[in-house]
Structure 1
Amino acid sequence: MRSSLALPTVLRFPLACLFTLLLVATIAAQPARGQEASRMPPADWKHSPAQYEALLAERDVMIPTRDGARMATDLYRPARNGKPVEGRFPVLLNRTPYNKQSLHEQAVFYAERGYVVALQDTRGRYKSEGLFSKVQPLDGTDGYDVVQWLSKLPYTTGKVGMWGSSFGAHMQAGAAVYHPPALSALLLNMGGLANGWDHGVRYRGTYEYGRQLTWAWGQLLADARSDDVRALLTKEKVEDWYGATWRRGRNPLAVSSQYEGWFFDFWERADYDAFWKDPMMAWDEHYPATSDIPMLHVGGWYDIFLAGTFKNFSELRRLKRATQRIVVGPWTHSGNNRPYAGDVAFGDSAAIPDFLTDFHMQWFDFALKGKANGVDKAAPVKLFVMGTGTGRKDKNGRLLHGGFWHEAATWPLPNTRFEPWYFHENGTLSATRPSSPTSSTTYTFDPRHPVPTIGGGSSARLKDGAYDQRENPRFPPSAAPWRPLRARPDVVVFQSEPLAEDMTVVGPITVVLHASASTVDTDLTVKLLDVYPSSLDWPGGFDLNLTDAIVRARYRATRDHAELLTPGQVYAFTLEPFPTANVFKKGHRIRVDVSSSNFPRFDVNPNTGEPIGKHQRMVTSDITVHHSATYPSHIVLPLVPVRRP
């Protein structure tokens, strides 16, 4: 059946970009309406000098793919006096579903510096033929066919590189899995989706509800031709639907069977099956087949795909011989050009103002032109270590958390010491293992009153980034009187004494929870925080979130099928928050919060064991966290001897 909402020929880019969620907007080189100017290079930025003029040589070239659908492509060439320069140049390709014309400024920049540039609308978008789907297996083979077609143009060297952010990065991975011979380099920015079941769509059995809902809502509004549809989605507020009972055909997304279908299919398809193993959903299932070519993986500590960025880099570096590099800053999704994330600032050095221009050129000049420009000698790992700021309030009211860049040869960093810090019955956290034979803490989780999402690696719509963990009106479903999350009865806090000296934590984080529940299913969440002491600027202190994780109990040990709990039985749950890099300064506390919800980022578990998304009831669950000699719940911290230069 055809969707009741027809997709327009042309989608207005700024509206699409407002809802940058799963695999979304490729960043434009100049601010589009609805974007922050601080995300883009400053107007006075001194770029590398242009060598040529840029010529939009051909518009909407229809490149054929193996099933007959043709992909609309704009081709830019280096030129002088309005005519293409003789000779052969490497190709840079960006495939996007968000209007190729939005990338015009970037294409001009690259063509001026000696590249043929191809901007392409992906299948079913704008001028391209075929049917668009959010999960499109053909995107990978389309990428192969397009790369090979471009490589045969008489004015190219036969080498094709790809760049792009979020969805654009995902398109690179899809093409690389099919190994087109001409594909020669990738630059994957904020799109390190290694496995959509594990993160990005679902997360260890849970559903990344908030992003999927707001992505679908925003795209429907942007795509809508019908005034009635536009009026409906404008009148309704997506936030008002966060806690609603969702059923197929009885929700605002029902105006489009296509978008509603994606939302519910992702939600209801909980088992890890063939759907999730497709190359466009699970790159990690297809690493061996992937092209052995230079790749630069770029992520952020508050990016929704950070776990995949590290996994892609680590596994491909192990399996392949070509150069693999990783750069991670204190960024949210698409926030490379900002020196802050949420309500926390990291200093001017945290941003890369030339990220979408000279930064790219250095990489591609090395990978596609063989220039010895220093990239070949750069360390494989470059990370921003957060936490060395003054802690004062800056002119914009943000916490000055600060930090510095650090380079290394390996990930995890050399000389990393993985040290367990244990939970204790008095709510303390320390490196001393519990000695008590029986010790536990019990809280009651009511799915009708979930813990609100306050920042983290979520999305712009859900206000991703670093924030004081206190309920406030910016974070629905927060409610007055706007108390700290640590004051909630369903949040169990374990924190250290004030540190006697600085402690640097850089690397993957693991939490082992020994827990039991009074129900057959529930969720468990953990959050790692850097707790600032009280100060003149922050009289109540500042509970700064660094990273978090969640696990659905029924998928604690398996992915391909659910296994319900036996009420009252103690299980060991392993949670893996995204990696982080932070200096916990002297006088600060290290804290771990344990709970059972993080909404609306993740769907709420009704605790009944019913199929989630189709459940009819919600019940409370008494959850007991054990922290005894027999059941020593703990967090493993990667401690490193890194000091600020």
Structure 2
Amino acid sequence: MRLILLCTLALVLTGARLPAQVAATADPSRMPPPGWVSSPKLFDAIKVATDFLMPTRDGKRMATDIYRPARNGAPVAERFPVLLNRTPYNKTSLAELAVFYAERGYVVALQDARGRYKSEGVFSKVQPIDATDGYDAIEWLAKQSYSSGKVGMWGTSFAAHMEAGAAQYNPPSLKSLVLNMGGMSNGWDHGVRYRGTYEMGRQLTWAWTQLLADARTDDVKALMTKEKAENWYSVQPMRRGLNPLSVDSQYEGWYFDFFEHADYDAYWKDPMLAWDEHYPQTADIPMMQVGGWYDIFLAGTFKNFTELRRLKKSPQYVMVGPWKHGGNNLPYAGDVAFGDSAAIQDFLTDFHMRWFDYHLKGVKNAVESLAPVRLFVMGTGDGRKDKNGRLMHGGYWRSADQWPLAGTKLVSYYFHGDGTLSPTKPAGVSATTTYTFDPRYPVPTIGGGASARLKDGAFNQREDPRFPPSQAPWLPLRSRADVVVFQTEPLKEDMTIIGPITVKLFASATTVDADFTAKLVDVYPSSIDWPGGFDMNLTDAIVRGRYRATRDHAVMLTPRKVYEFTIEPFPTANVFKKGHRIRVDVSSSNFPRFDVNPNTGEPLGRNRRMITTDITIQHNATYPSHIVLPLAPARP
């Protein structure tokens, strides 16, 4: 958990003329275990500034801790590259990593974001000033006497958003970035909202935990400890002034502003929310986009890579493992294990050192021959239960020169009335399947790229007390009447898919609005370890009916009219082994990851009613609903 927390924050190197020096040493009990770290220690580290108030253009000052290489208790009189990390999660949590980098010849600057902890100003999840604060910090650091003039940034999650924001203003001294699970390309598309829906579970639990962490009075802390976020999931929708977040107007405001601001307009085009609106002016520098197959920002990871690679001359890289948010150092995600090779144990140390040594110091190393695309292909495991009780799904790393992979073939698998999924188009002209969706009993979120307290990762798609609002007797999701299953026969040979996934769903609703979900599942056959099999989720997505074709304004459905809905789950990479089935689950909810559509057509977040709707899926020659799978070329 310590490493995951460290991943969630970002780290930076800096130099400055500062107050009294304080010696800094690493706590051996908390440093990486022997054999993990191989980068040589060249210096001692010394902390030369604590809460130094670095100036910005509007006069507000950002609290910054600065570490420098040292010998004999004094800073080395030499110019070094600077690594900068700007974080809203308390810079002191990154201290031991700052020591590590300083010992290897970098100045490190750790900075609290505006309005957080010791920094001045007001913090907000949506403000361009965070991006310009980053620019100002970069250029200030580059001018210091101990700086070589080259600045790099790295960080995870919100800290990666901070990197992206600064890069959009093209600071001349910024030379390289490593963005880990946070280079969100567009918050309306994913991460905050999701193709018209609201990522309710993540936003609520984020606000809840941060409010508790920041509570400045005992009564607020007592309230937020007494109340449980998961108990409020059923309050749909929560209302301003009538919920526990109301004790802090700032946190409550973020939650409801995101919730109620449904149309895509200028609000969503802020540099901190929509990098894809600002690609052309972004700094042309080497970047590494790092993501996970079960990370909430995976769509942005790939979009940032592909678009910046198209627009920029500097080399761009992407690396994706079988990780959940911030889980680079873990060989598992949820209840599924992928083998020891899946984890990058030196991710926060040697991995970053090799990258920055090459791009900031000109050191010849493995980065020079790094492939632009590095992916972990899930699958190939024996499916047994490991010593920790997880399903051993396995997998392997694969390199490529482009994304999607050269030689990928797009193959359509069609939905059929008998529940089968096959490459054969349906022949009938009227075959349909109808289910009733009641928003008061939504399909529970079981893993996926949920983040926060929602237990992201790969899980058997079965109701479980760990996943509210699951209910006893804890049956598989496929048993629900409002989950329509289409699956292949057991495969006669292995099948590898690597790339983007698209579902074309032809359907109608009896209401003026409704949601449509699709989930890709790798179905394990029944075994001694897994009686009844294991339905492993790979990727999923949702689309809100009123935003099916537009995002700048809502267009309601005409009841019973057939529409084509394009559902785009995040990309994935998986080997469906011989004997497994490929499955697609279609429904109308995935809660509490996404808010539930009340189906009434009322303004989002302000409804007072919920009504059932009948959803009719078309799977016939006229309207051939299907999934498009990227069949990968043979493994090198």
Same fold (TM over 0.5): yes
2-structure distance, mates of 1:228, 1:27: 33
**Preserved contact between residue 192 and residue 307 of structure 1 (Cα < 8 Å):** no
Q: Superposed, which structure 2 residues align to 1:57-96 within 5 Å?
A: 57-96=48-87
Distance 1:47 1:24, change over 3 A: closer
**Preserved contact between residue 96 and residue 168 of structure 1 (Cα < 8 Å):** yes
Residue ranges of structure 1 left out of the alignment (5+ in a row)? 1-12, 29-38
Matched, 1:249 2:241: yes
Per-residue CA deviation, residues 449-490 of structure 1 (Å, 9 max, x unaligned), is: 000000000114100000000001000000011000000000
- Runs of 4 or more, structure 1, over 4 Å off, are 23-28
**Preserved contact between residue 383 and residue 393 of structure 2 (Cα < 8 Å):** yes
Which of 75, 99, 102 aligns to 1:111? It is 102
Aligned to 1:33: none
Q: Superposed, which structure 2 residues align to 1:116-195 within 5 Å?
A: 116-195=107-186
Matched, 1:411 2:399: no
Matched, 1:575 2:567: yes
1-structure distance, mates of 2:313, 2:231: 51
Per-residue CA deviation, residues 317-336 of structure 1 (Å, 9 max, x unaligned), is: 00000011111000000100
Aligned to 1:485: 477
Aligned to 1:373: 365
**Preserved contact between residue 41 and residue 355 of structure 1 (Cα < 8 Å):** no
Matched, 1:214 2:208: no
1-structure distance, mates of 2:561, 2:33: 58
How far residue 96 of structure 1 moved from its aligned partner, in angstroms, is: 0.6
Aligned to 2:16: none
Aligned to 2:21: none
AA aligned to 1:286 is: H
Which of 637, 641, 644 aligns to 2:629? It is 637
1-structure distance, mates of 2:532, 2:560: 38
SS in structure 1 of the partner of residue 354 of structure 2: helix
Aligned to 1:320: 312
Per-residue CA deviation, residues 275-311 of structure 1 (Å, 9 max, x unaligned), is: 1001111000000000000001100000000000000
Per-residue CA deviation, residues 90-136 of structure 1 (Å, 9 max, x unaligned), is: 10000011111111111111111111111111101111111111222
SS in structure 1 of the partner of residue 543 of structure 2: strand
1-structure distance, mates of 2:117, 2:611: 46
Aligned to 2:378: 386
Matched, 1:523 2:515: yes
How far residue 391 of structure 1 moved from its aligned partner, in angstroms, is: 0.1
Distance 1:179 1:40, change over 3 A: same
2-structure distance, mates of 1:449, 1:510: 27
How far residue 75 of structure 1 moved from its aligned partner, in angstroms, is: 1.2
AA aligned to 1:274 is: A
How far residue 86 of structure 1 moved from its aligned partner, in angstroms, is: 2.1
Q: Which range moves more in the overlay, 428-437 or 545-554?
A: 428-437
**Preserved contact between residue 42 and residue 353 of structure 1 (Cα < 8 Å):** no
2-structure distance, mates of 1:330, 1:511: 22
How far residue 49 of structure 1 moved from its aligned partner, in angstroms, is: 1.3
SS in structure 1 of the partner of residue 531 of structure 2: coil
1-structure distance, mates of 2:367, 2:401: 14
AA aligned to 2:52 is: V
**Preserved contact between residue 65 and residue 110 of structure 2 (Cα < 8 Å):** yes
**Preserved contact between residue 313 and residue 326 of structure 1 (Cα < 8 Å):** yes
**Preserved contact between residue 40 and residue 337 of structure 1 (Cα < 8 Å):** no
Distance 1:565 1:618, change over 3 A: same
Aligned to 1:609: 601
Which of 559, 573, 578 aligns to 1:586? It is 578
**Preserved contact between residue 340 and residue 346 of structure 1 (Cα < 8 Å):** yes
Which of 243, 257, 261 aligns to 1:265? It is 257
**Preserved contact between residue 11 and residue 86 of structure 2 (Cα < 8 Å):** no
Per-residue CA deviation, residues 196-239 of structure 1 (Å, 9 max, x unaligned), is: 00000000000000011111111111111221111111111211
Per-residue CA deviation, residues 119-156 of structure 1 (Å, 9 max, x unaligned), is: 11110111111111122220000011110000001111
Aligned to 1:35: none
**Preserved contact between residue 447 and residue 456 of structure 2 (Cα < 8 Å):** yes
1-structure distance, mates of 2:206, 2:155: 19
**Preserved contact between residue 100 and residue 349 of structure 2 (Cα < 8 Å):** yes
SS in structure 2 of the partner of residue 134 of structure 1: coil
Aligned to 1:199: 190
2-structure distance, mates of 1:42, 1:571: 56
**Preserved contact between residue 41 and residue 337 of structure 1 (Cα < 8 Å):** no
SS in structure 2 of the partner of residue 217 of structure 1: helix
Aligned to 2:40: 49
SS in structure 2 of the partner of residue 356 of structure 1: helix
Aligned to 1:434: 426
How far residue 43 of structure 1 moved from its aligned partner, in angstroms, is: 5.3
Which of 536, 541, 553 aligns to 1:544? It is 536
How far residue 40 of structure 1 moved from its aligned partner, in angstroms, is: 8.4
How far residue 27 of structure 1 moved from its aligned partner, in angstroms, is: 8.7
Distance 1:43 1:611, change over 3 A: farther
2-structure distance, mates of 1:460, 1:71: 27
**Preserved contact between residue 37 and residue 349 of structure 2 (Cα < 8 Å):** no
2-structure distance, mates of 1:567, 1:282: 33
Matched, 1:237 2:216: no
Which of 506, 510, 519 aligns to 2:498? It is 506
Aligned to 2:19: none
AA aligned to 1:566 is: T
AA aligned to 2:460 is: D
Distance 1:41 1:307, change over 3 A: farther
How far residue 24 of structure 1 moved from its aligned partner, in angstroms, is: 5.6
Distance 1:334 1:40, change over 3 A: farther
Q: Which range moves more in the overlay, 470-479 or 247-256?
A: 247-256
Per-residue CA deviation, residues 259-288 of structure 1 (Å, 9 max, x unaligned), is: 111111100000001010011110000000
How far residue 359 of structure 1 moved from its aligned partner, in angstroms, is: 0.1
2-structure distance, mates of 1:463, 1:561: 33
1-structure distance, mates of 2:461, 2:10: 30
SS in structure 2 of the partner of residue 310 of structure 1: helix
Aligned residues: 617
Distance 1:25 1:364, change over 3 A: closer
Identity of aligned residues (%): 73
SS in structure 2 of the partner of residue 107 of structure 1: helix
Which of 297, 304, 308 aligns to 1:305? It is 297
SS in structure 1 of the partner of residue 453 of structure 2: coil
Q: Superposed, which structure 2 residues align to 1:425-464 within 5 Å?
A: 425-464=417-456
2-structure distance, mates of 1:553, 1:296: 35
Aligned to 1:101: 92
1-structure distance, mates of 2:225, 2:469: 20
**Preserved contact between residue 202 and residue 452 of structure 2 (Cα < 8 Å):** no
2-structure distance, mates of 1:47, 1:177: 34
Distance 1:633 1:327, change over 3 A: same
Distance 1:546 1:479, change over 3 A: same
Q: Which range moves more in the overlay, 226-235 or 598-607?
A: 226-235
Q: Which range moves more in the overlay, 349-358 or 241-250?
A: 241-250
Residue ranges of structure 2 left out of the alignment (5+ in a row)? 13-29
AA aligned to 2:586 is: V
2-structure distance, mates of 1:206, 1:46: 43
Aligned to 2:459: 467
Aligned to 1:10: none
What TM-score, normalized to structure 1?
A: 0.94
1-structure distance, mates of 2:356, 2:592: 39
AA aligned to 1:445 is: F
How far residue 42 of structure 1 moved from its aligned partner, in angstroms, is: 3.6
How far residue 374 of structure 1 moved from its aligned partner, in angstroms, is: 2.2
Structural RMSD (CA):
1.6
